[in-house]
Protein backbone atom coordinates (compact mmCIF):
# COMPACT_ATOMS: atom_id res chain seq x y z
CA UNK A 1 0.00 0.00 0.00
CA UNK A 2 1.40 3.34 -1.05
CA UNK A 3 1.62 5.60 2.01
CA UNK A 4 2.64 8.67 0.04
CA UNK A 5 0.26 11.62 0.21
CA UNK A 6 -1.65 12.28 -2.95
CA UNK A 7 0.10 14.79 -5.07
CA UNK A 8 -1.53 18.18 -5.37
CA UNK A 9 -1.91 19.70 -8.80
CA UNK A 10 0.76 22.17 -9.66
CA UNK A 11 -0.25 25.77 -9.82
CA UNK A 12 -0.11 27.30 -13.22
CA UNK A 13 2.23 30.25 -13.35
CA UNK A 14 0.40 33.55 -13.52
CA UNK A 15 1.05 35.56 -16.60
CA UNK A 16 1.62 39.26 -16.54
CA UNK A 17 -1.26 39.93 -18.89
CA UNK A 18 -4.31 41.66 -17.49
CA UNK A 19 -7.68 42.35 -19.02
CA UNK A 20 -8.55 45.83 -20.30
CA UNK A 21 -10.93 46.59 -17.44
CA UNK A 22 -8.28 45.58 -14.93
CA UNK A 23 -5.88 48.02 -16.57
CA UNK A 24 -8.59 50.69 -16.53
CA UNK A 25 -9.17 50.09 -12.80
CA UNK A 26 -5.43 50.47 -12.16
CA UNK A 27 -5.34 53.86 -13.88
CA UNK A 28 -5.85 56.57 -11.21
CA UNK A 29 -6.56 59.32 -13.73
CA UNK A 30 -9.21 57.24 -15.48
CA UNK A 31 -10.83 56.39 -12.14
CA UNK A 32 -10.81 60.06 -11.14
CA UNK A 33 -12.50 60.95 -14.44
CA UNK A 34 -15.08 58.18 -13.98
CA UNK A 35 -15.83 59.33 -10.42
CA UNK A 36 -16.23 62.93 -11.59
CA UNK A 37 -18.57 61.84 -14.38
CA UNK A 38 -20.62 59.80 -11.92
CA UNK A 39 -20.91 62.88 -9.72
CA UNK A 40 -22.03 65.05 -12.66
CA UNK A 41 -24.66 62.55 -13.78
CA UNK A 42 -25.89 62.06 -10.24
CA UNK A 43 -26.23 65.81 -9.73
CA UNK A 44 -27.98 66.21 -13.10
CA UNK A 45 -30.51 63.50 -12.29
CA UNK A 46 -31.20 64.93 -8.84
CA UNK A 47 -31.10 68.59 -9.94
CA UNK A 48 -34.77 69.40 -9.13
CA UNK A 49 -34.30 68.09 -5.59
CA UNK A 50 -30.91 69.71 -5.03
CA UNK A 51 -31.75 73.18 -6.36
CA UNK A 52 -32.51 75.56 -3.47
CA UNK A 53 -34.67 77.83 -5.68
CA UNK A 54 -36.50 77.56 -9.01
CA UNK A 55 -33.98 78.13 -11.79
CA UNK A 56 -35.89 81.06 -13.34
CA UNK A 57 -37.21 82.64 -10.13
CA UNK A 58 -35.89 86.24 -9.81
CA UNK A 59 -34.99 87.74 -6.46
CA UNK A 60 -35.27 91.43 -7.26
CA UNK A 61 -33.70 92.54 -3.98
CA UNK A 62 -30.64 90.32 -4.52
CA UNK A 63 -29.39 91.14 -8.01
CA UNK A 64 -25.69 90.36 -8.53
CA UNK A 65 -25.53 89.15 -4.94
CA UNK A 66 -22.13 87.62 -4.09
CA UNK A 67 -21.88 84.04 -2.80
CA UNK A 68 -22.98 83.64 0.81
CA UNK A 69 -25.06 81.30 2.95
CA UNK A 70 -28.35 82.31 1.31
CA UNK A 71 -26.99 82.07 -2.27
CA UNK A 72 -24.08 79.64 -2.27
CA UNK A 73 -22.90 80.64 -5.78
CA UNK A 74 -24.41 84.13 -5.84
CA UNK A 75 -27.07 85.54 -8.16
CA UNK A 76 -27.10 87.03 -11.66
CA UNK A 77 -28.25 90.42 -12.95
CA UNK A 78 -31.92 89.36 -12.65
CA UNK A 79 -31.50 88.00 -9.13
CA UNK A 80 -31.67 84.35 -10.19
CA UNK A 81 -29.76 81.87 -8.04
CA UNK A 82 -26.64 80.69 -9.92
CA UNK A 83 -26.50 77.33 -8.12
CA UNK A 84 -30.07 76.50 -9.15
CA UNK A 85 -29.40 77.56 -12.74
CA UNK A 86 -26.12 75.61 -12.94
CA UNK A 87 -27.88 72.49 -11.65
CA UNK A 88 -30.72 72.86 -14.15
CA UNK A 89 -28.24 73.62 -16.93
CA UNK A 90 -26.29 70.43 -16.19
CA UNK A 91 -29.25 68.38 -17.41
CA UNK A 92 -29.54 70.38 -20.63
CA UNK A 93 -25.82 70.50 -21.43
CA UNK A 94 -25.10 66.84 -20.63
CA UNK A 95 -28.18 65.71 -22.55
CA UNK A 96 -27.10 67.69 -25.61
CA UNK A 97 -23.56 66.31 -25.34
CA UNK A 98 -24.65 62.68 -25.04
CA UNK A 99 -27.44 62.77 -27.63
CA UNK A 100 -25.33 64.59 -30.20
CA UNK A 101 -22.57 62.04 -29.54
CA UNK A 102 -25.05 59.24 -30.30
CA UNK A 103 -26.05 60.94 -33.56
CA UNK A 104 -22.41 61.33 -34.63
CA UNK A 105 -21.63 57.78 -33.49
CA UNK A 106 -24.43 56.21 -35.54
CA UNK A 107 -23.47 58.19 -38.65
CA UNK A 108 -19.75 57.52 -38.20
CA UNK A 109 -20.23 53.78 -37.63
CA UNK A 110 -22.51 53.36 -40.64
CA UNK A 111 -20.28 55.30 -43.02
CA UNK A 112 -16.98 53.93 -41.68
CA UNK A 113 -18.13 50.29 -41.65
CA UNK A 114 -19.61 50.51 -45.14
CA UNK A 115 -16.52 52.24 -46.55
CA UNK A 116 -14.13 49.76 -44.95
CA UNK A 117 -16.04 46.65 -45.92
CA UNK A 118 -17.08 47.63 -49.47
CA UNK A 119 -13.80 49.25 -50.51
CA UNK A 120 -13.22 50.44 -54.05
CA UNK A 121 -15.37 53.25 -55.39
CA UNK A 122 -17.77 53.14 -52.44
CA UNK A 123 -14.86 53.66 -50.06
CA UNK A 124 -13.46 56.49 -52.17
CA UNK A 125 -16.83 58.26 -52.44
CA UNK A 126 -17.57 58.03 -48.71
CA UNK A 127 -14.10 59.22 -47.75
CA UNK A 128 -14.45 62.22 -50.07
CA UNK A 129 -17.76 63.00 -48.37
CA UNK A 130 -15.95 62.79 -45.04
CA UNK A 131 -13.29 65.22 -46.25
CA UNK A 132 -15.99 67.67 -47.40
CA UNK A 133 -17.71 67.63 -44.00
CA UNK A 134 -14.37 68.17 -42.26
CA UNK A 135 -13.60 71.12 -44.54
CA UNK A 136 -16.85 73.03 -43.87
CA UNK A 137 -16.77 75.23 -40.72
CA UNK A 138 -19.15 74.00 -38.03
CA UNK A 139 -20.33 77.50 -37.13
CA UNK A 140 -21.20 78.25 -40.77
CA UNK A 141 -23.37 75.14 -40.95
CA UNK A 142 -24.94 75.99 -37.61
CA UNK A 143 -25.85 79.54 -38.63
CA UNK A 144 -27.33 78.27 -41.90
CA UNK A 145 -29.29 75.56 -40.10
CA UNK A 146 -30.66 77.95 -37.48
CA UNK A 147 -31.60 80.47 -40.17
CA UNK A 148 -33.65 77.82 -41.95
CA UNK A 149 -35.25 76.00 -39.02
CA UNK A 150 -34.87 78.34 -36.04
CA UNK A 151 -32.99 77.70 -32.79
CA UNK A 152 -34.06 74.65 -30.80
CA UNK A 153 -32.47 71.98 -28.63
CA UNK A 154 -33.34 69.10 -31.05
CA UNK A 155 -31.90 71.12 -33.92
CA UNK A 156 -28.75 71.81 -31.92
CA UNK A 157 -28.33 68.09 -31.18
CA UNK A 158 -28.71 67.23 -34.85
CA UNK A 159 -26.34 69.88 -36.18
CA UNK A 160 -23.61 69.07 -33.64
CA UNK A 161 -23.96 65.34 -34.24
CA UNK A 162 -24.06 65.58 -38.03
CA UNK A 163 -20.88 67.66 -38.14
CA UNK A 164 -18.88 65.51 -35.69
CA UNK A 165 -19.03 62.04 -37.27
CA UNK A 166 -15.97 62.12 -39.64
CA UNK A 167 -13.30 61.19 -37.01
CA UNK A 168 -15.40 58.23 -35.87
CA UNK A 169 -15.97 57.15 -39.47
CA UNK A 170 -12.23 57.18 -40.16
CA UNK A 171 -11.45 55.14 -37.04
CA UNK A 172 -14.11 52.53 -37.80
CA UNK A 173 -13.04 52.32 -41.45
CA UNK A 174 -9.42 51.70 -40.47
CA UNK A 175 -10.41 48.90 -38.07
CA UNK A 176 -12.76 47.27 -40.59
CA UNK A 177 -10.08 47.40 -43.29
CA UNK A 178 -7.74 45.55 -40.95
CA UNK A 179 -10.37 42.91 -40.12
CA UNK A 180 -12.18 42.22 -43.39
CA UNK A 181 -9.54 39.76 -44.69
CA UNK A 182 -9.33 37.77 -41.46
CA UNK A 183 -10.26 34.08 -41.43
CA UNK A 184 -13.53 34.50 -39.55
CA UNK A 185 -14.80 36.97 -42.17
CA UNK A 186 -13.77 34.60 -44.98
CA UNK A 187 -15.57 31.74 -43.22
CA UNK A 188 -18.74 33.81 -42.84
CA UNK A 189 -18.59 34.75 -46.52
CA UNK A 190 -18.08 31.10 -47.50
CA UNK A 191 -21.27 29.98 -45.73
CA UNK A 192 -23.30 32.64 -47.54
CA UNK A 193 -23.63 35.38 -44.92
CA UNK A 194 -24.70 38.72 -46.35
CA UNK A 195 -22.51 41.79 -46.16
CA UNK A 196 -24.80 43.46 -43.63
CA UNK A 197 -24.75 40.40 -41.37
CA UNK A 198 -20.96 40.17 -41.56
CA UNK A 199 -20.62 43.84 -40.60
CA UNK A 200 -23.12 43.67 -37.72
CA UNK A 201 -22.32 40.21 -36.31
CA UNK A 202 -18.60 39.83 -36.99
CA UNK A 203 -16.89 43.17 -37.66
CA UNK A 204 -18.55 45.73 -35.39
CA UNK A 205 -18.17 43.63 -32.18
CA UNK A 206 -14.42 43.75 -32.79
CA UNK A 207 -14.53 47.54 -33.08
CA UNK A 208 -16.37 48.18 -29.80
CA UNK A 209 -13.24 49.39 -28.01
CA UNK A 210 -12.51 52.00 -30.68
CA UNK A 211 -16.15 53.10 -30.67
CA UNK A 212 -16.21 53.47 -26.86
CA UNK A 213 -13.05 55.56 -26.86
CA UNK A 214 -14.36 57.79 -29.64
CA UNK A 215 -17.71 58.19 -27.87
CA UNK A 216 -16.22 59.53 -24.63
CA UNK A 217 -14.02 62.01 -26.47
CA UNK A 218 -16.94 63.12 -28.68
CA UNK A 219 -19.08 64.04 -25.66
CA UNK A 220 -16.45 66.44 -24.37
CA UNK A 221 -16.16 68.13 -27.76
CA UNK A 222 -19.96 68.33 -28.07
CA UNK A 223 -20.19 70.06 -24.68
CA UNK A 224 -17.58 72.61 -25.77
CA UNK A 225 -19.39 73.18 -29.08
CA UNK A 226 -22.74 73.68 -27.36
CA UNK A 227 -21.20 76.08 -24.84
CA UNK A 228 -19.58 78.12 -27.60
CA UNK A 229 -22.78 78.30 -29.64
CA UNK A 230 -24.89 79.21 -26.61
CA UNK A 231 -22.34 81.87 -25.63
CA UNK A 232 -22.81 83.44 -29.07
CA UNK A 233 -26.59 83.19 -28.85
CA UNK A 234 -26.86 80.39 -31.42
CA UNK A 235 -27.43 77.49 -29.03
CA UNK A 236 -29.85 76.93 -26.17
CA UNK A 237 -32.23 79.89 -26.03
CA UNK A 238 -33.45 81.56 -22.82
CA UNK A 239 -35.24 80.92 -20.56
CA UNK A 240 -33.83 77.38 -20.78
CA UNK A 241 -30.45 77.46 -19.00
CA UNK A 242 -27.23 75.92 -20.27
CA UNK A 243 -23.72 76.40 -19.02
CA UNK A 244 -22.88 78.36 -22.17
CA UNK A 245 -25.71 80.89 -21.99
CA UNK A 246 -25.18 81.41 -18.23
CA UNK A 247 -21.59 82.41 -19.05
CA UNK A 248 -22.94 84.72 -21.74
CA UNK A 249 -25.32 86.33 -19.23
CA UNK A 250 -22.40 87.19 -16.96
CA UNK A 251 -19.87 88.46 -19.49
CA UNK A 252 -21.03 92.08 -19.08
CA UNK A 253 -20.52 91.87 -15.32
CA UNK A 254 -17.15 90.12 -15.07
CA UNK A 255 -15.57 93.11 -13.33
CA UNK A 256 -18.18 93.34 -10.56
CA UNK A 257 -19.80 89.87 -10.46
CA UNK A 258 -17.22 87.27 -11.50
CA UNK A 259 -19.25 84.41 -10.02
CA UNK A 260 -21.96 84.55 -12.71
CA UNK A 261 -19.60 83.25 -15.40
CA UNK A 262 -16.99 81.56 -13.25
CA UNK A 263 -19.01 78.66 -11.83
CA UNK A 264 -20.63 77.44 -15.09
CA UNK A 265 -17.23 77.81 -16.78
CA UNK A 266 -15.71 75.63 -14.05
CA UNK A 267 -18.41 73.01 -14.67
CA UNK A 268 -17.58 72.95 -18.39
CA UNK A 269 -13.89 72.56 -17.63
CA UNK A 270 -14.43 69.71 -15.16
CA UNK A 271 -16.93 67.86 -17.35
CA UNK A 272 -14.75 68.00 -20.47
CA UNK A 273 -11.68 67.01 -18.46
CA UNK A 274 -13.56 64.04 -16.96
CA UNK A 275 -14.69 62.75 -20.35
CA UNK A 276 -11.18 63.14 -21.73
CA UNK A 277 -9.64 61.31 -18.76
CA UNK A 278 -12.07 58.41 -19.21
CA UNK A 279 -11.39 58.34 -22.95
CA UNK A 280 -7.63 58.32 -22.42
CA UNK A 281 -8.03 55.58 -19.82
CA UNK A 282 -10.07 53.43 -22.20
CA UNK A 283 -7.53 53.97 -24.97
CA UNK A 284 -4.70 52.85 -22.70
CA UNK A 285 -6.71 49.92 -21.32
CA UNK A 286 -7.57 48.51 -24.73
CA UNK A 287 -4.11 49.07 -26.22
CA UNK A 288 -2.85 45.54 -26.93
CA UNK A 289 0.76 46.69 -26.62
CA UNK A 290 0.29 47.41 -22.90
CA UNK A 291 1.01 44.54 -20.52
CA UNK A 292 0.65 45.21 -16.81
Q: What are the residue boundaries of the structural domains of the chain, listed by start? A: 20-51+86-285
Confidence check: pLDDT of 46 > 90: yes
Give the Cα separation of 204 and 172 in Å (integer).
8
Q: Which residues contact 223 (CB under 8 A, 6 or more apart)?
A: 93, 94, 96, 97, 243, 268, 271, 272, 275
pLDDT for 107 equals: 93
Other beta carbons less than 10 A from residue 50's beta carbon: 15
Question: Is the distance from CB of 44 to CB of 72 less than 8 angstroms?
Answer: no
Exposed / middle / buried, residue 103 (Cβ in 10 Å: 0-12, 13-18, 19+) = buried
Asked whether the predicted pLDDT for residue 12 surpasses 50, the reply is no
Interior angle at CA 28, CA 27 and CA 29, nearest 5: 95
Mean pLDDT of the chain: 85
What pLDDT shows up at residue 16? 44
Q: For residue range 67-122, what is the model confidence (pLDDT) as tens digits? A: 999 899 999 988 999 999 999 999 999 999 999 999 999 999 999 999 998 888 99
The DSSP line for 120-174 is HHHHHHHHHHHHHHHHS-HHHHHHHHHHHH---HHHHHHHHHTTS-HHHHHHHHH
Q: Give me the long-range contacts of 245-251 (CB less than 8 A, separation at least 24).
A: 245/89, 246/76, 246/82, 246/85, 246/86, 246/89, 249/76, 249/77, 250/76, 250/77
DSSP at 199: I
Q: How far apart are the first and last CA of the chain?
A: 48
Among 45, 55, 50, 47, residue whose Cα is nearest residue 75: 55
CB 67 within 8 A of CB 74: yes
Fold of the 20-51+86-285 domain: MetI-like fold (1.10.3720)
- Comparing 105 with 14, the larger pLDDT belongs to 105
Amino acid sequence: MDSRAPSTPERQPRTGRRGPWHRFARNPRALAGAALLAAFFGVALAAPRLAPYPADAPHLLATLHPPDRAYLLGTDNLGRDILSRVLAASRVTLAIGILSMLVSLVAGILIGALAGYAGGQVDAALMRLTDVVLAVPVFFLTVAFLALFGPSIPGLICIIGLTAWPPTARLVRAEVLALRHRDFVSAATAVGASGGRIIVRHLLPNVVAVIAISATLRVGLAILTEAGLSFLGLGVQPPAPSWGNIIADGRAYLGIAWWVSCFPGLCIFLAVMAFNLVGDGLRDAFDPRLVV
